[in-house]
C-alpha cells in the first residue's frame, strides 16, 4: 500500500474544519489552551506510527512512505515538559490537632511548590529523561514559578523548558534494537528520528525516609513495628523501641510490603498528563516499555555489554557473609545501587552521606533547618492570606525527637544489613516505561483505518505549522 490516503479523517462534525485564513502562528497553542478535558480523555488513543517511518511491514497491509521525520518544535516540546512540571503553590490544608486538642504532625510535606500531578507528601521525587534528535536531557525543576492561578503564555513555557533541560548526552540515547533493550515489535517504531521520548526516574531515598517518619508519627499504640521479610522476619532495627513501648509489636509492617512507599505513583500520574496533552495538541504518541533500569542508568554489571547508559554512579554492597543468602534474597537487595548522576541528582544514603543518621539529618534540614521549608513563611506565603503563613510556621508541629531517633535506627539497620539504602528497592527507581510523542503519519491512518485519529490530529499541521491539512 502506498502513502496516499483518502480524505482526511477527524471528528469534524463536533468542531468543524477551520478555514485556512483563520490559522495564525499561535493558533495551535490557543486551541490547546481551550481543548476540552473530556475530549482529551475520550479521544486519547495510542497512535504509534510517526511521520518519517519508511515502512510498516504487515503482510498485505504493508504501508510505505517517503515522508521525512518532522521533529517537535521548541514550543511543542515545552508544552509537554510543562505537563510534568511546576504549576504553582500547594496548600497545607490539613488538621494538625487531634479531637482532644493535642498535636498532630502538621509538616509531612517535602515541598511547597505544586506540580502538575499529585505526589505523596508533595515529595516531587520524579524527574524525566527527555530524548530527541539533539541529545538526551535531564529535566529539572525550573527556577521560577508563576503567580497562583496564572495560565502560562507560550514564552513562559519555552523559558521554563530551557531552564529545566540539562544535557546529559549529545546524542539520542540508544541500545541494540533487540530484547531485552526493546520488546518485540517496539524496536521498529520506538525512539526513531523525529520522535521525543519522556522517561521517568524516581528518587525514592528522600521520601522513603520522610515517609517512614510519617508512619512513625501515629498516636501511642498505633505506631507500626518494622520487620524485614527478606531477612527471616527479624525486627528491622527497632527492637528497643518495641521494648520501651514506643512501637506496637502487634502492628508488624514488612519492609518488602512497603516497596516504593507509593512514591512511584507520582510518575504514573505525570505519564497520564503527557498522554492527555498529546491528544490536546493533536500529536501522536503512546506509552510502552522503555530501556530496562540497569541498562538505562549504567549498572556496572552490564556496562561491558551495553555501555554506560546515562552514567549514574553506583554503590556496590559489601555482602560479606550475606553472600551465602543471595539465593534466597530477592533483587535488588544484593545488587549495585544507583546513588547519583553527577552533580545533578544525589540520593539520601551513603556514600553521599557518612551514614544513614546523617542522611536523615539532611532530610530534616531541608524541612526544619535554616532556610528550610518550615523555618520561614516565604514558601507558603502565596497560599495564605496576609500574615497567616507566619502563624502557620510558628504553630505547625514538627517530627517528634523519638520519631527521628527511631527512623535513624531503622534506616541504619537497612544499610548495615544490606550494604545499601534502600535495600528492597533502588535509591533511583526506573518504572520501566516511557512516553513517545511525535507528529503523526496521517497518510498511514487514512489508508488503513476508518477513524484513525481525531480532529486535533487532523488540524495539527494547519494550526501549529501553517500547512494545509
Measuring CA to CA, how many Å separate 455 from each of 67, 80, 83? 21, 19, 21
pLDDT by 10s per residue, the chain, length 469:
655 444 566 543 333 344 434 556 689 999 999 999 999 999 999 999 999 999 999 999 999 999 999 999 999 999 999 999 988 889 999 999 999 999 999 999 999 999 999 999 999 999 999 999 999 999 997 765 666 667 889 999 999 999 999 999 999 999 999 999 999 999 999 999 999 999 999 999 999 999 999 999 999 999 999 999 999 999 999 999 999 999 999 999 999 999 999 999 999 999 999 999 999 999 999 999 999 999 999 999 999 999 999 999 999 998 666 667 777 788 898 899 999 999 999 999 999 999 999 999 999 999 999 999 999 999 999 999 999 999 999 999 999 999 999 999 999 999 999 999 999 999 999 999 999 999 999 999 999 999 999 999 999 999 999 987 5
pLDDT score at 311: 98
How far from chain centre, in Å, is Cα 217?
A: 27
Cell numbers for 135, please give them: 541529545
The alpha helices in 264-343, defined as continuous H runs, are 265-281, 293-297, 303-306
pLDDT score at 14: 37
pLDDT score at 148: 65
pLDDT score at 21: 42
Report the DSSP beta bridge partners of residue 103: 97
Cell numbers for 305, please give them: 555489554
Burial class (CB within 10 angstroms; exposed 0-12, middle 13-18, buried 19+) of 233: exposed
| Packed helices 356-368 and 205-215: angle between N→C axes, nearest 10 degrees | 80
Residue written as grid cell 492527555: 276
Global pTM reads 0.93
DSSP assignment of 227-269: EETTTTTEE-S-HHHHHTTSSEEEEEEEHHHHTTTTTTHHHHH
Distance between CA atoms of residues 2 and 366, nearest Å? 59
DSSP assignment of 376-390: SSTTTTTTSSTTHHH
Are 425 and 258 spatial neighbours (Cβ–Cβ below 8 Å)? no
Are 234 and 228 spatial neighbours (Cβ–Cβ below 8 Å)? yes
Cell numbers for 129, please give them: 529523561
Alpha carbon distance, N-terminus to C-terminus of the chain: 21
Measuring CA to CA, how many Å separate 196 from each of 36, 69, 292, 392? 24, 11, 18, 43
* Reduced 3-state DSSP string for 151-172: CCCHHHHHHHHHHHEEEEECCC
Cell numbers for 67, please give them: 515522508
Report the DSSP beta bridge partners of residue 429: 202
Are 283 and 76 spatial neighbours (Cβ–Cβ below 8 Å)? yes
CA dihedral of 340, 343, 345, 351, whole degrees rounded to 10: 40
How far from chain centre, in Å, is Cα 249?
A: 35
Residue written as grid cell 508541629: 397
Residue written as grid cell 556496572: 300
Distance between CA atoms of residues 226 and 106, nearest Å? 23
Amino acid at each position: 500500500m502506498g502513502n496516499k490516503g483518502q480524505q482526511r479523517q477527524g471528528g469534524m462534525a463536533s468542531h468543524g474544519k477551520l478555514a485556512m485564513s483563520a490559522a495564525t502562528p499561535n493558533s495551535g497553542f490557543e486551541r490547546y489552551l481551550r481543548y476540552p478535558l473530556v475530549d482529551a480523555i475520550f479521544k486519547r488513543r495510542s497512535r504509534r506510527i510517526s511521520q518519517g517511518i519508511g515502512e510498516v511491514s504487515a503482510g498485505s497491509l504493508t504501508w510505505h512512505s517517503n515522508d521525512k521525520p518532522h521533529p517537535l518544535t521548541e514550543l511543542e516540546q515545552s508544552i509537554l515538559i510543562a505537563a510534568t512540571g511546576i504549576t504553582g503553590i500547594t496548600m497545607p490544608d490539613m488538621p494538625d490537632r487531634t479531637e482532644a486538642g493535642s498535636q498532630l504532625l502538621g509538616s509531612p510535606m517535602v515541598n511547597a511548590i505544586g506540580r502538575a500531578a499529585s505526589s505523596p507528601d508533595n515529595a516531587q521525587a520524579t524527574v524525566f529523561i527527555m530524548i530527541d534528535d539533539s541529545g538526551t536531557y535531564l529535566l529539572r525543576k525550573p527556577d521560577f514559578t508563576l503567580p497562583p492561578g496564572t495560565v502560562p503564555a507560550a514564552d513562559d513555557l519555552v523559558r521554563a523548558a530551557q531552564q529545566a533541560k540539562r544535557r546529559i548526552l549529545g546524542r539520542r540515547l540508544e541500545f541494540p534494537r533487540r530484547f531485552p533493550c526493546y520488546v518485540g515489535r517496539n524496536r521498529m517504531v520506538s525512539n526513531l528520528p523525529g520522535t521525543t521520548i519522556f522517561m521517568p526516574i524516581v528518587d525514592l531515598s528522600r521520601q522513603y525516609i520522610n515517609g517512614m517518619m510519617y508512619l512513625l508519627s501515629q498516636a501511642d499504640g498505633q505506631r507500626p513495628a518494622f520487620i524485614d521479610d527478606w531477612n527471616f522476619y527479624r525486627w528491622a532495627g527497632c527492637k528497643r523501641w518495641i521494648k520501651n513501648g514506643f512501637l506496637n509489636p502487634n502492628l508488624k509492617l514488612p519492609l518488602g510490603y512497603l516497596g516504593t512507599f507509593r512514591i512511584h505513583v507520582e510518575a504514573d500520574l505525570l505519564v497520564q498528563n503527557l498522554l492527555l496533552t498529546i491528544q490536546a495538541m493533536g500529536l501522536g504518541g503512546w506509552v510502552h516499555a522503555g530501556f530496562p533500569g540497569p541498562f538505562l542508568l549504567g549498572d556496572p554489571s552490564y556496562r561491558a555489554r551495553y555501555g554506560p547508559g546515562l552514567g549514574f554512579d553506583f554503590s556496590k554492597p559489601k555482602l560479606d557473609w550475606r553472600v551465602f543468602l543471595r539465593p534466597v534474597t530477592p533483587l535488588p537487595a544484593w545488587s549495585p545501587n544507583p546513588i547519583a548522576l553527577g552533580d545533578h541528582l544525589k540520593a539520601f544514603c551513603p556514600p553521599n552521606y557518612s551514614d544513614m543518621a546523617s542522611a536523615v539529618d539532611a532530610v530534616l534540614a531541608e524541612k526544619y533547618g535554616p532556610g528550610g521549608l518550615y523555618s520561614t513563611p516565604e514558601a507558603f506565603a502565596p497560599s495564605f492570606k496576609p500574615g497567616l503563613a507566619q502563624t502557620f510556621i510558628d504553630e505547625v508541629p514538627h517530627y517528634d525527637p523519638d520519631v527521628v531517633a527511631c527512623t535513624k535506627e531503622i534506616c541504619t539497620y537497612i544499610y548495615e544489613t544490606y550494604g545499601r539504602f534502600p535495600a528492597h528497592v533502588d535509591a533511583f527507581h526506573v518504572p520501566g516505561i516511557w512516553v513517545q510523542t511525535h507528529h503523526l503519519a496521517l497518510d498511514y491512518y487514512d489508508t488503513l483505518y476508518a477513524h484513525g485519529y481525531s480532529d486535533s490530529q487532523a488540524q495539527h499541521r494547519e494550526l501549529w505549522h501553517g500547512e494545509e491539512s
